[in-house]
Structure 1
Amino acid sequence: MRSFRILLFPFSLVYGAIVIIRNYLFDKGFLKSTGFNIPIIGVGNLSVGGTGKSPMVEYLIGLLKDRYAIATLSRGYKRRTTGYILATEQTTAIEIGDEPMQFHIKHPEIAVAVGEQRIEAVPQLLYDRPEIKTIILDDAYQHRSIIAGLNILLTEFSNLYANDFFLPTGDLRDQKDSAKRADIIIVTKCKAGMHESEQSKVRNILQPLPHQHLFFTSIRYGLPYHIIDRSNRHLNRNTEVLLVCGIANPEPLKKYLQDETKSYDAMYYDDHHIFSFDDLKEIRKRFNSISHEEKIIVTTEKDAVRLIKFKEELQALPLYVLPITVSFLFNRAMAFNDLVVNFIESYKTGDHIQPE
């Protein structure tokens, strides 16, 4: 696979040239960026694939939702609708996409909206929900038509943007220099016991600017809960697991199951896969083929929002959802929280420089 991607190097040069020209046009003002008189937090990355945007957005939701009226605005990747949609009680993942649906289910008290043209979606969202005081833009680092007052850039520990190259040879969808626009850089999916020497090594590779704040996070898995009745189930070394997932990077999850269970089988699907009845039949068939008595099916929260439509069929199936949260390393959670809250509070005092 790697050798094949190297053969695509000429296409990477063309793609990279287009990206660089686009950024130049924004930097010089030939393409316009618009600001809004409200705190907007942008969360994104420079690469394709799973850098942990959804867990970080959820972390921000948990941090802010009891302090402010907040909203999330996403593109709604791979949904089967177009245009602006504000989630309601009747909304499905097909209409707004996996991640927004996940936010909506877990945090029904906040506004969750999608829209490809976010420059048009922001005013509509503020019209629909005028009480909103803060907007979190999900996966919006390259969406430069909107000025985010606080830009949070994520990069995966095992695939740092500084060591990467443009698509399709590498995984970069933006140029490395775009990292200079970040206020906060977060290295995600680090080992929980990461040593300070590794932190220093990564810092030397990324070389953050003096004004940029660098953080390191790891994934923390929670207690699995049944997809329908939400009853909890502990994993142990006597449990055999059938993993069902369609996510960009399942490696951390595979490693976790290897460490925590007796053994596991796996059924992998494309990222954002829309599950069918045939898929459900195959899942049940594979699960029934496991002879061990203590066995369960495990899936991710992203996949769960696409499986929940089979509610009646899943009632009797031991299908458990494994939640994940972000854990800041080196006792830096409070420092990150303060940066985010102080950014929002600066709008109240007028200390923040309003975007043009």
Structure 2
Amino acid sequence: MQFFRKLLWPLSLVYGFVTLVRNKCYDWGIFNSYAIPKKSICVGNLSVGGTGKTPHVAYLAEFLNGQIETSILSRGYGRKTSGFRLVNTSDSAENVGDEPLFYATIFDKNVHVAVCEKRAEGVQELQQLFLSNQLIILDDAYQHRAVKAGLNILLTEYNAPFSSDLVLPAGNLREFRAGKKRADLVIVTKCPKSITDADKRHLANSLKVNTETLFFSEITYAPLRSFGKECSSIKKVLLVTGIANPSPLIAEIEQQYKVEHLKFGDHHAFSKQDIEEIHQKFDTFACNETIILTTEKDFMRLKAVSSSWKLDDYPWYYQPITVKIDNENKFKALINQYVNTI
């Protein structure tokens, strides 16, 4: 792997230089950036996928919606539509993307959810539609410099911090590590429950960010939820994932059950053939105490075809997750400080 990284390093320098020039053009005002007139929070990362943006966006929306009218704007990755579109619970992931559908489902009508690949256009549409809306959360818009948020939150994964990564294609970074300077808050995500103060200090030194605005979060796993046949006793799990990094989920499930994993690409659009192959794999187990488990985001892509593709005939479950932020009171205080500043 290191050998191939070295081979790709020259291409990474070229790619990194192009992104650097682009960022400087925004910094110097050569390229226009739309400054959102109302409160706005951008949640993003330096790397390609897998840092846990979705549960962190949901965390922020749940926390803030009780005190200020909130919207979530996403690109709607993987959807077959284009342009601005409001998302509701009757939509399909095919039309709006799995993450926006997830937000719309968990918040129902309490939070406005929209998709638009051009974020500045999406923000303006939301402001015209909901005049009383006071806060917009931008999902995965850290590199979308055409729109300028009031507060930038940068996520980086515990097991793959940006300080140990390289720019594409040798690594997974979308831009040079210096992009961290645009962040107002940094969260190290997917931390183990056993993380120590020494671990935190080591990461802080490695990331070279302000420790006063550095936070750590972990995934919390809620009870499994069924969307197929119920199973009264579970001993084995056929895990089906279409997310960027399923490793933390695998580790969690393996603590309780014997696991066999079928991995698909991030945002995979499951076909009828995929489902038939999954069911055939399940049928080979010949065990009444086995379930098919998927992620909550994958469930958003599967629920629309649940009946027509006979998912109801099999014990399909999904794993809900949330996040827990260490030093949560301080984190919320900093968010409130921004939101309440006139």
If the TM-score is normalised by the length of the shorter chain, which range does it land in? over 0.9
Tell me how many residue pairs correspond in the alignment: 339
Could you tell me which of 279, 282, 289 is aligned with 2:277? 282
**Structure 1 residue 257 corresponds to structure 2 residue 253:** yes
**Structure 1 residue 291 corresponds to structure 2 residue 286:** yes
CA contact (8 A) 1:180 1:209 kept: no
**Structure 1 residue 81 corresponds to structure 2 residue 81:** yes
Q: Mapping of 1:113-128 within 5 angstroms?
A: 113-128=114-129
Query: Displacement of 1:148 after TM fit?
Result: 0.9
Could you tell me which of 303, 306, 315 is aligned with 1:308? 303
> Taking structure 1 as reference, are residues 209 and 264 closer, same or farther at Cα in structure 2, changes over 3 Å only?
closer
CA contact (8 A) 2:228 2:315 kept: no
CA distance in 2, matches of 1:69, 1:49: 28
Query: Displacement of 1:156 after TM fit?
Result: 0.5
**Structure 1 residue 20 corresponds to structure 2 residue 16:** no
Query: Displacement of 1:185 after TM fit?
Result: 0.3
Deviations 1:5-57 (A, max 9, x none): 43222211110110111111111111122212211000000011200100100
CA distance in 2, matches of 1:118, 1:259: 41
SS of the aligned residue for 2:20 comes to helix
Deviations 1:133-169 (A, max 9, x none): 1100000111112111111000011111112111000
**Structure 2 match to 1:65:** 65
**Structure 1 residue 167 corresponds to structure 2 residue 164:** no
Deviations 1:243-300 (A, max 9, x none): 0111100110111111121x11111111111111111111111111113331111100
CA distance in 1, matches of 2:69, 2:9: 46
> Taking structure 1 as reference, are residues 323 and 88 closer, same or farther at Cα in structure 2, changes over 3 Å only?
closer
CA distance in 1, matches of 2:262, 2:238: 7
Please tell me the residue identity of whatever aligns with 1:338: A
CA contact (8 A) 2:240 2:294 kept: yes
> Taking structure 1 as reference, are residues 32 and 209 closer, same or farther at Cα in structure 2, changes over 3 Å only?
farther
Query: Displacement of 1:89 after TM fit?
Result: 4.4
CA contact (8 A) 1:72 1:137 kept: yes
**Structure 2 match to 1:135:** 136
**Structure 1 residue 248 corresponds to structure 2 residue 253:** no
Query: Displacement of 1:132 after TM fit?
Result: 1.3
**Structure 1 match to 2:155:** 154
**Structure 1 match to 2:43:** 43
CA distance in 2, matches of 1:228, 1:257: 19
**Structure 2 match to 1:318:** 315
Query: Displacement of 1:342 after TM fit?
Result: 2.2
SS of the aligned residue for 2:48 comes to coil
Please tell me the residue identity of whatever aligns with 1:265: E
Deviations 1:286-329 (A, max 9, x none): 11111333111110011001111222122232111101111123
Query: Displacement of 1:97 after TM fit?
Result: 0.8
CA distance in 1, matches of 2:223, 2:88: 28
Unaligned regions of 5+ residues in structure 1, if any? 351-356
Please tell me the residue identity of whatever aligns with 1:23: N
CA distance in 1, matches of 2:117, 2:151: 21
CA contact (8 A) 2:154 2:187 kept: yes
> Taking structure 1 as reference, are residues 36 and 49 closer, same or farther at Cα in structure 2, changes over 3 Å only?
closer
Please tell me the residue identity of whatever aligns with 2:127: L
SS of the aligned residue for 1:203 comes to helix
Deviates most, 32-41 or 166-175: 32-41
CA distance in 2, matches of 1:295, 1:170: 37
**Structure 1 match to 2:339:** 344
CA contact (8 A) 1:100 1:113 kept: yes
**Structure 2 match to 1:354:** none
Please tell me the residue identity of whatever aligns with 2:118: Q
% identical aligned pairs: 40
**Structure 1 residue 185 corresponds to structure 2 residue 186:** yes
CA distance in 1, matches of 2:74, 2:227: 24
CA contact (8 A) 1:56 1:326 kept: yes
Query: Displacement of 1:129 after TM fit?
Result: 1.9
RMSD (Å), alpha carbons: 1.7
**Structure 1 residue 9 corresponds to structure 2 residue 9:** yes
CA contact (8 A) 2:42 2:142 kept: yes
CA distance in 2, matches of 1:307, 1:5: 36
> Taking structure 1 as reference, are residues 264 and 89 closer, same or farther at Cα in structure 2, changes over 3 Å only?
closer
